[in-house]
Amino acid sequence: MANNSFVTRIACGFLAALALASVSAAALAQNPKAGNSSDTDTRAYNKHDFGGLWSHNPQEFGLPPCPECREQYPIPVPGYGYFGDVPARTPEGERKLQMTRHGRGFEPDSEGAKKYPNLDPAYKRAGLPAYSNDPEARCEMMGLARSIVMNGPNSAMEMVHTQANDRLIQNFEWYGDHRNIWMDGRKLPNPGDYLPGVNGYSVGQWQGDTLVVTSTGFDERQWVDMYGFPISENAILVERWERPSPNRLRVQLTLTDPVNYTRPWTSTVKAWALIPKEKMSISGWSGIFDDRCIPSDEALFNSFRNHAAGLGEK
C-alpha cells in the first residue's frame, strides 16, 4: 500500500510538473529576454544535437559576449541561483531554509535588502562565509539543480550524446560531476529502491524540439542553489532544454516539491554559448577542466577565509 501511495504521489507530481512545464514553455516563448538571441550565426544546425562545450562566459574564450547567458533575474541579487517565481515555503521547507547559513545574497538590513522590499526574504540572509554550513564549503554535494543553475567562472559544461543515442551525459566543470539523462524510454525509478542520488535519476524525451527531462530521487542534503533552498527526495524537477540557434542552449526548470514549497517553482531561463573545442583549449589540451573540490584544498582556503571573520590566528 505504501508503495502504491508513493507511486501515486510520483505520478501526480509528474503530471503536475508536466502541466506546469507546458506553462513554463509558454512563458519561455513569451520571455523577450529569453527569446532574444545574440547569436548571429545563421547556419543550418540540428536542434536535437546538444553535444559540445558550453559556457555562460563566451568572452572568456575570445568569443563575442552573450548577454542572455548572464542571469536574467530582474533584481541583481548577489550571486546566482535558481530564481524565478519563488514560492512560499511550507512550514517544513521554511524550517529547513532557516537552518542554512551562507554568504550569498544580501545581508539582513543591508542597503541592498532595503532597496528591494518585495524580494523574497530568503535572499536577505547572507552572513560571513566563515560561519556557513554550505555543503560546497566542505566539498559535499552540489546537487543537480545547483549544478545546472551555477553561473560562475567554473560553470562551463559539456553535453555528450552516446553513440546509441540512449543517453545524454552532462558534465559539469566545477566539481567534475556528471549526470545521465536516459533517453531509452525507461520510467523513473522508485527512489526508495536504492540510495537517493546526488543528481537524482533523470529520463528525457523529445516534445518537438524541446527535450523534456524529468528527475527525482534527490539526496536531501543538497541545496537547490547557493541560497540554501531545500529539496526533498521525492521532488520532481522538470527541465525543458532547447537549442534555439546554432550557438545557444537554454533551459528552464520547474520544481514540484510539496514537502518544502506551497506550489511548483519555475526558474528563470538559463542560457549557454557554444564554445568550439579549439577555443576551450590550453596548450592544445581541449575540453572542460576536471575542476574538483578537494576537501584538503577547501580546508586550506577556509583557513584563510576564517581570518576574514576574525577567526584566524593573530
Partner 1 sequence: MMSTSRKLLCLAAALLAANSGWAHHGSGISYDTTNLWTTWATVTEFNYLNPHPTMRFERTTKDGKVEQWVSELLAAPAQLARAGWTRNRSNEALKPGTHVKLYLGTSRVGGFSAIAMRIENEKGESIVGGLGENRGNAVDMDGVPGGLQPKKPLLGQTSGDR
Using the rule CB under 8 A, is 153 a contact of partner 1?
yes
Using the rule CB under 8 A, is 132 a contact of partner 1?
yes
Only one of the segments 19-27, 113-121, 256-264, 302-310 lies at the binding site for partner 1 (rule: CB under 8 A); that segment is 302-310
Site string for partner 1, 155-194 (x = CB under 8 A): -x----------------xx--------------------
Using the rule CB under 8 A, is 298 a contact of partner 1?
yes
Residue among 80 and 201 whose Cβ is closer to partner 1 = 80
Site string for partner 1, 18-57 (x = CB under 8 A): --------------------------------------xx
Using the rule CB under 8 A, is 207 a contact of partner 1?
no
Give the largest CA-CA distance in the chain.
62
In contact, 137 and 109? CB cutoff 8 Å: no
Using the rule CB under 8 A, is 148 a contact of partner 1?
no
Residues 105 and 88: their CA atoms lie apart, in Å, by: 18
The partner residues of 214 in beta bridges, in order of sequence, read 203, 238
Residue among 35 and 295 whose Cβ is closer to partner 1 = 295
Only one of the segments 76-84, 180-188, 209-217, 233-241 lies at the binding site for partner 1 (rule: CB under 8 A); that segment is 76-84
Please work out the total of residues on this chain that contact partner 1, with binding judged by CB under 8 A. 52
C-alpha to C-alpha distances, 111 to 114, 116, 239, nearest whole angstrom: 5, 9, 35
User: Is the Cα torsion angle 133, 134, 137, 139 positive or negative in sign?
Assistant: positive
Instruction: State the residue for C-alpha cell 560546497.
Output: 136
Amino acid at 145: A
Residue ranges in contact with partner 1 by CB under 8 A = 56-57, 59-61, 65, 67, 70, 78-80, 101-104, 107, 125-132, 137, 151-154, 156, 173-174, 226, 282, 289, 291-294, 297-298, 300-301, 304-305, 307-312, 314
